[in-house]
């Protein structure tokens, strides 16, 4: 049974992941001794979600079949689904969400929660989201969408949760979120491989089609290896063992994910559903263990 187009645009899975990574930023602030202001944190989460949802609805607006700038192919199932939604309504919803996010930001300013770092982070997050979805750049249509989303979800969103509590970004923050960003990127590559054939025959420009399936698979494997290698290195240069060992619990799952990709590269029948579950599970498991170490 197909989901409603609006549900697909909203992308509840992405919102849930954002809440998880935002909680990591809060956890780092708590771990560093901040007195948490839950009102500010809730408002910050609303502002962050509004940035992502504005991107989602703008992307759908510019993909709409009635838009002369649309690059969707008629054979794409999303083409037919978008036709069931009024194009102008997508822009109206996007502007409404953006206004709500701006209002939330103003409230945060009046609550003296915004620092220079907050303004910078929200500004970068908004610009990346806007130019991912909107002309002339449309980064998601030029092979950069997966990379930008990884930076937004696994790096900028937790950073916002951290600085809203008056704590600066530090090496500790980087050591916890950089491996997570790499694992998220690997997940996005894994999730897009199944549709590679359609993408390449219909001139869709994603990270995988820009790299080619072989190089994309190798990049996938390399970023997973790099993520766990960084975790190990960070354990030697400053990250406590109590923070490192829970993150390393995902290593067997990461190895299995690489194994599945290698089997596909060697010509075996792809097990797409299993690969997608493992890729999503690895990210969620790693994020969960990061969060657990911060709050216990």
The domain ranges of the chain are: 1-169, 170-296
Indicate the pLDDT class of residue 151, thresholds 50, 70 and 90.
Answer: very high
Percent pLDDT > 90 in the chain is 79
pLDDT of residue 69: 81
Per-position b or e across 131-158, b if 16+ CB within 10 A of its CB = bbbbeeebbbbebbbbbbbbbbbbbbbb
Which CATH topology does 1-169 take? Tetracycline Repressor; domain 2 (1.10.357)
Q: What pTM does this model have?
A: 0.95
More confident residue, 74 or 147: 147
Residue 73: predicted pLDDT: 82
* pLDDT above 70 for 227: yes
Q: Cα–Cα distance between 161 and 138 in angstroms, integer? A: 27
Indicate the SS3 state at residue 273.
helix
Question: pLDDT tens for residues 36-68?
Answer: 999 999 999 999 999 999 999 999 999 999 988
Q: Is the pLDDT of residue 233 over 80?
A: yes
When pLDDT is averaged across residues 177-190 and rounded to a whole number, the result is 97
Q: Is the omega angle on the peptide bond into residue 101 within 30 degrees of 0, that is, cis?
A: no
The pLDDT value recorded for residue 21 is: 97
Q: What pLDDT score does 1 carry?
A: 46
For residue 205, name the pLDDT band (cuts at 50, 70, 90).
confident
Using a pLDDT cut of 70, give the percent of the chain over it.
99
Residue 195 has pLDDT above 50, yes or no: yes
- Look at residue 2 in the predicted model and tell me its pLDDT: 56
Characterise 267 by phi-psi region: left (phi > 0), alpha (psi -120 to 50), beta (else): left
Q: What is the pLDDT of residue 139?
A: 93
Closest CA to 51 of 6, 18, 8: 18
Architecture of the domain defined by 170-296: Up-down Bundle (1.20)
Looking at every residue in the chain, the average pLDDT score rounds to 93
Q: Tell me the per-residue pLDDT of 62-85, one tens digit each, with 9 for 90 and over.
A: 999 998 888 888 888 888 889 989
Residue 177 sits at the vertex; the CA angle it makes with 175 and 179, to the nearest 5 degrees, is: 80
- pLDDT per position as a tens digit, 3-46: 678 999 999 999 999 999 999 999 999 999 989 999 999 999 99
């Amino acid at each position: 049974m197909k989901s409603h187009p609006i549900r697909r645009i909203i992308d509840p899975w992405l919102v849930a992941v954002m809440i998880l990574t935002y909680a990591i930023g809060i956890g780092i602030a708590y771990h560093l001794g901040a007195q948490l202001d839950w009102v500010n944190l809730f408002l910050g989460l609303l502002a962050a979600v509004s940035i992502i949802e504005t991107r989602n609805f703008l992307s759908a607006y510019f993909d709409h079949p009635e838009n002369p700038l649309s690059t969707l192919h008629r054979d794409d199932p999303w083409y037919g689904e978008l036709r069931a939604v009024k194009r102008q309504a997508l822009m109206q919803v996007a502007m409404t969400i953006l206004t709500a996010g701006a209002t939330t930001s103003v409230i945060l300013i009046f609550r003296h929660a915004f620092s220079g770092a907050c303004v910078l982070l929200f500004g970068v997050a908004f610009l990346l989201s806007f130019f991912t979805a909107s002309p002339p750049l449309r980064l998601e249509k030029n092979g950069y969408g997966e990379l930008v989303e990884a930076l937004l979800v696994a790096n900028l969103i937790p950073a916002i949760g951290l600085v809203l509590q008056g704590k600066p970004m530090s090496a500790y923050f980087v050591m916890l979120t950089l491996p997570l960003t790499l694992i998220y990127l690997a997940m996005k590559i894994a999730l897009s491989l199944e549709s590679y054939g359609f993408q390449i025959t219909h001139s869709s420009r994603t990270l995988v089609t820009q790299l080619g399936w072989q190089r994309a698979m190798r990049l996938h494997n390399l970023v997973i290896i790099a993520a766990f290698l960084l975790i190990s290195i960070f354990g030697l240069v400053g990250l406590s063992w109590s923070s490192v060992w829970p993150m390393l619990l995902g290593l067997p799952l990461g190895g299995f994910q690489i194994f599945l990709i290698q089997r596909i590269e060697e010509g075996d029948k792809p097990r797409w559903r299993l690969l997608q579950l493992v890729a999503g599970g690895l990210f969620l498991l790693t994020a969960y263990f990061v969060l657990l170490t911060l709050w216990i």
